[in-house]
Every structure is written in C-alpha cells, then in structure tokens.
Amino acid sequence: MKTRAKMLAVGIAILALFLGAGAGALHLYMRFANNTQGEMFDGAGHVDLAYCALIFLTTFIPTFGIVIVCGFVVMLPLLFSPRKDV
C-alpha cells in the first residue's frame, strides 16, 4: 500500500474513533439528562455501568462503521491513482 494511503487510513481510523466516541458520549449525556424513571441507575441507586456501556456502544459502533466505510470510499481513488510516492 502506498505511504500516502497508509497515512490516510490511519487518519480515517483516528477520525472514526473520535467521532464514534463523541457520538457515544453525546448519547450518554442525553440519557443522563433525561434519566427517564431512573433508567441510568440500578435498584440500589448506583450508576448502571453495563447499561451505560450498551448506550455508548449503540452509537459508537454505527458512527465508527459509517466513518470507516466513507473513508474507504474516499481512499479508493487514491489507492488506484497513478501518482507515485515521494
């Protein structure tokens, strides 16, 4: 793989991680802000960490996947471009 493409792939992966984490954190923030009928806490009044992880991943995974797929589509022309690495 060309060096330029490698750097782009790493950049896209970092971007996907940031956007995914941001989306997950935003989802968690909204859930805690609403906290409907105490859904974010367990019966003893402690934060339900398993549910928090689920909430986070529900938005992290799709966002991460979308950014990776879009990034790959953007990378395709670069992978097959005739320009050589410097």
Partner 1 sequence: MSRFVFFETPREALRAAVPLRADLAAIQMEWALLKLALKYCPDQPRVPAGNRDGGQWTDTAWARVAANNMPGAVVTDAAPKSRDATLGLSAPGRDKARRALVLQGGGGDFYVAPNPNANPNAPWYADPSKSLVGSYNDGILFAAEQENVDPDLIRSIMYVETTQGHYFGAGDLLDSVGLSKTILPMNIYASRWAELGTREDLSNPFTNILAGTKILKGIEANLSAPDVAIVGTLYNALDATKVSDYGARIAAVYKEKPWQ
* Residues in contact with partner 1 by the rule CB under 8 A: 27, 30-31, 33-39, 43-45, 51, 54-55, 58-59, 62
Read off the DSSP letter of residue 40: T
CB of 20 to partner 1, least distance (A): 12
CB of 84 to partner 1, least distance (A): 43
Which lies closer to partner 1 via its Cβ, residue 30 or residue 70? 30
Q: How far apart are CA 86 and CA 66, in angstroms?
A: 31
Which two three-digit tokens encode residue 64?
A: 């991460």
Question: Is the alpha carbon torsion for 41, 42, 47, 53 positive or negative?
Answer: negative
Q: How far apart are CA 5 and CA 55, in angstroms?
A: 33
Which lies closer to partner 1 via its Cβ, residue 8 or residue 56? 56
CB of 50 to partner 1, least distance (A): 11
